[in-house]
Amino acid sequence: MELKTYTISVYSENNIGLLNRISAIFLKRHINLESFSTSESEIPDVFRFVIVVNIAPDKVHKIVQQIEKQIDVIKAYYHTDEETIFQENALYKIRSSYLFEERQIQNIIKSSHATIVTVSPEFFVIEKTGFREETEKLRQELAPYGLLQFVRSGRISVTKAKMGISEILNTFKK
């Protein structure tokens, strides 16, 4: 079956070991993750995992059920790209001398709408937020000038539809 990209969103308690528990569900099924990021959510003490995975459509539902089954998971969802607003963030570290010697770099930065985060005598760092194709395009454009370091974050995403986590938590309080 053809693979499709899904964003899995997991709302959970902030407990040690939960990351391991969730990643073990993918490990057991021999599924590779495209990206994984975690942060506090809009609700105090509730954490949100954003997991991107390329997987057959019939499998994603089963995986999400297994995630939601974990005791410390409040709710898990999966969405297609069309159903979410998503971004990635990338940092590019380049030798400072190039900024002045290679005029083309300035054009690349300008046209890509990247921002310069810091400039020091030895290096400068630029930042770009956007879709994977955009950060990747910038990486390829800068590569000929020698990237000292490149790093890209995992996807972060919000859904177009509402999640209703507060309702779940309020129901529990009753």
| Binding residues vs another protein (CB under 8 A) | 12-13, 15-17, 20-21, 24, 27-28, 45, 61-62, 65-66, 68-74, 168-169, 172-173
Q: Give min distance, CB of 12 to another protein, in A.
A: 7
* Residue with Cβ nearer another protein (1 or 16): 16
Element (H, E) at 32: none
* Residue with Cβ nearer another protein (104 or 170): 170
Q: Give min distance, CB of 96 to another protein, in A.
A: 40
Q: Which residue in this structure is represented by tokens 């999640």?
A: 163
Residues 6+ apart with CB under 8 A from 135: 88, 89, 90, 128, 129, 152
* Residue with Cβ nearer another protein (110 or 173): 173
Under DSSP, is residue 69 helix (H, G, I), strand (E, B) or coil? coil
**Per DSSP, what are the bridge partners of residue 91?**
127, 151
Q: Give min distance, CB of 10 to another protein, in A.
A: 11
**In whole angstroms, what is the distance from residue 123 CA to residue 100 CA?**
12
* Residue with Cβ nearer another protein (64 or 142): 64
Q: Give min distance, CB of 17 to another protein, in A.
A: 6
- Do 40 and 92 contact (CB within 8 A), yes or no? no
